[in-house]
Structure 1
């Protein structure tokens, strides 16, 4: 720091202010200091900064899977919000061979230079109800169910299903078939429950479900089977990959979409992947979830109170394209 101060012709205190992101430095002075840092190869010592200020300016993120569309978009939202606020992120994945409990996850993160932790939970874990975060390490959960001891945030998994059923029934369909996600997924369970309870509320027949695994091939197989259901005019798939696979399966079995069967998905994950995309879907705002989760954990790190025992719900958005037919117009 002394070398940078001499090179820039300023005091060490000014170099410290620039290194710590203070606004109390004139722009031209900041430019001189940053040029000197670049020339001399200076990098702030984050361990020393943490000792002085009590924070590493680093947030840990824990995921069980990184390859799914939702998790990737959530992570992008967290990283973007962290970068906007001068924070770094440390990402850790929990493999099948490791202890899959919140206690084990947090114990691992306590060994790393992080100020707080965001845990993305896709599956129910055994210590969810009993877990209490350590006082020295704030924890925020991205999870379908609200936690008693941690702030929780997620998309409206249940509500998106009720909205889809209402939408399809309003188009004149007498019932809605459902391709579920895997039973291990909390989101899939909530979407299936919302679908079933919405049909019950409307007093319409509840058809059998077809179980998928989030992949397009499982949707394709379900689509072939659904083509032989005589009363099937509407299909709700629990994600867009299965919905797109279902469209191909229905077409392979001789059905037209949407003329014979309407199909709707969830997440809007294919918009930049499939050309001329016609799939109607319920968009999940995963990037918003990530940014809001970062805001919550940062507030905890700054000593603010964030409500626990309730879930912050990020609403979904219907995106109408061309895969749903309005039977009321016939």
Structure 2
């Protein structure tokens, strides 16, 4: 065999002592192959470096069995966990995923991202909508390429799914008020983040609807240092007895800032975060948080896209919301008793 040329299906068939049709069945995931034969064919594929012709497979079966995933960033905890949920569900279903980043040098619109995905061998697209884009309300997905958007806001032309960003904030504020606090201070995430905006809106609306004082918002950037700086400032505000930070990193930073400023947590100030992202990172973790089920968001988004790729109708404008879970530890004190 000429090793300068890629291995063919016939090469694998000869090496495994089977017919090319059997190699084709193995490559296409057919169950009509005996396990020992499958193992022999797969061993020959690996030895020869054979790669199935996915374009031919798509022509035959109508699908590539690959879902495109568009991300703004891999740096955030939530995005990494969402991607993990998508990847696990895809693997369990015999699918692959193709990732694409919307970098600062790209046109940051849904249309541009999906157009780039159309050039790749994917059956559908999941967009993790971390930031604002100008065409969110006007975007029309191509008829031949199903699109699912991970966004709390419903889209006019695509199904959407997300964690309950707004609802987690209302639950946090209600929880802190039930502990006797007269109001709740908020350390928000960056203004470019859709999740941060929803969390801040839930905090503000809940206090406003109850007629309670709404303290100034402290703007953070998701990192612990920004929480620390806010904690240092709030340590000198005697009216501050409860802080809701929009993620756990900022909440943990705020706890350290408060302590550096002479306030104790939770004796003087209660602190709560969101995500439950510090487990296994911070020893003896005392931070009470609202756990977001990002893995479930990712896996549900994948199965939604898969159903659409297989011909099922998922109505546009339908929003699926995955609720958060309160995890009580030791950073909130009940001052009502």
TM-score by length of 2: 0.94
Q: Which residue in the other structure is 1:252 paired with?
A: 260
Q: In 1, distance between residues paired with 2:254 and 2:10?
A: 65
Matched, 1:240 2:248: yes
Matched, 1:118 2:120: no
What is the correspondence of 1:68-147 to structure 2 with a 5 Å cutoff?
A: 68-147=76-155
The alpha-carbon deviation at position 163 of structure 1 amounts to 0.4
Q: Alignment partner for residue 191 of structure 2, among 174, 183, 193? A: 183
Q: In 2, distance between residues paired with 1:17 and 1:181?
A: 50
What is the correspondence of 1:146-295 to structure 2 with a 5 Å cutoff?
A: 146-295=154-303
RMSD, matched Cα: 1.4
The alpha-carbon deviation at position 277 of structure 1 amounts to 0.9
Q: Alignment partner for residue 18 of structure 2, among 5, 10, 19? A: 10
Q: In 1, distance between residues paired with 2:254 and 2:15?
A: 65
Matched, 1:299 2:307: yes
Q: In 2, distance between residues paired with 1:289 and 1:322?
A: 28
Q: In 2, distance between residues paired with 1:288 and 1:245?
A: 28
Q: 2:152, 2:321 within 8 Å by CA — same for their partners in 1? A: no
Q: In 1, distance between residues paired with 2:197 and 2:49?
A: 52
After TM superposition, the structure 1 stretch with the greater mean CA deviation from structure 2, 248-257 or 54-63, is: 54-63
The alpha-carbon deviation at position 29 of structure 1 amounts to 2.5
Q: In 2, distance between residues paired with 1:154 and 1:3?
A: 47
Q: Alignment partner for residue 55 of structure 1, among 63, 67, 90? A: 63
Matched, 1:314 2:318: no
Q: Which residue in the other structure is 2:6 paired with?
A: none
The alpha-carbon deviation at position 12 of structure 1 amounts to 2.6
After TM superposition, the structure 1 stretch with the greater mean CA deviation from structure 2, 3-12 or 284-293, is: 3-12
Deviation digits for residues 191-222 of structure 1, max 9, x if unmatched?
Answer: 11111111123332222221111111111111
Deviation digits for residues 45-65 of structure 1, max 9, x if unmatched?
Answer: 112212222211111111111
Q: In 2, distance between residues paired with 1:97 and 1:28?
A: 50
Deviation digits for residues 152-203 of structure 1, max 9, x if unmatched?
Answer: 1111000000100111111111111111111221111111111111112333
After TM superposition, the structure 1 stretch with the greater mean CA deviation from structure 2, 152-161 or 97-106, is: 97-106
Structure 1: runs of 5+ lacking an equivalent? none
Q: Which residue in the other structure is 1:36 paired with?
A: 44
Q: In 2, distance between residues paired with 1:226 and 1:185?
A: 24
Q: In 2, distance between residues paired with 1:289 and 1:61?
A: 13
The alpha-carbon deviation at position 321 of structure 1 amounts to 0.8
Report the 3-state secondary structure (helix = DSSP H, G, I; strand = E; otherwise coil) of the residue aligned with 1:328. coil
Q: In 1, distance between residues paired with 2:114 and 2:50?
A: 32
Q: In 2, distance between residues paired with 1:270 and 1:144?
A: 24
Q: Which residue in the other structure is 1:27 paired with?
A: 35
Report the 3-state secondary structure (helix = DSSP H, G, I; strand = E; otherwise coil) of the residue aligned with 2:336. helix
